[in-house]
Amino acid sequence: MATSINAIFMMSLRERLIDLRKDQGLTQQQMADTIGIHVNSLKKYETGQAQPSLDILKKIALALHVSTDFLLFEGHERVPQDDLALQFEAVAEMPNDEQMVVREVLESLIIKYQSRRWDSRRQSAAKR
């Protein structure tokens, strides 16, 4: 994504829609077609003249691979308690094949950490 996560948290819904749509390389017409609405409705959402219904908001979130709360809440309303929790939430929104890559990388890092920890315990025990 071209925009940092922190910058996106400080945006309004309309700004997020525009930024995320552009990051996905979608025109307004392509985005409207993807979510099944008229392009004029999307333009109204992006200018702040109208708010999408819950059904349309869900379709927008799915199309942009984000959660609806990510679209709706301002940064001060949704401050992540833990950086990892936010990253895991972002991973949950990825396509399955990309999630599998993240899982494999995570598993390998965990195994590496556990091996190091086990090895250091073994070395400590051998010194005693």
Instruction: Give the model's pLDDT for residue 4.
Output: 46
What is the model's pLDDT at position 77? 62
Each residue of 82-102: pLDDT tens digit? 677 778 888 888 999 999 999
pTM of the model: 0.54
- Among candidate residues 19, 53, 52, 26, the one with its CA nearest the CA of residue 42: 52
pLDDT at 75: 59
CB 44 within 8 A of CB 50: yes
Give per-residue pLDDT as tens, 47-69: 989 999 999 999 999 999 888 88
Structure confidence by residue, pLDDT tens digits, 15-53: 889 999 999 999 999 999 999 999 999 999 999 899 999
Predicted confidence at residue 1, as pLDDT, reads 44
Dihedral angle over CA of 83, 86, 92, 94, nearest 10: -90
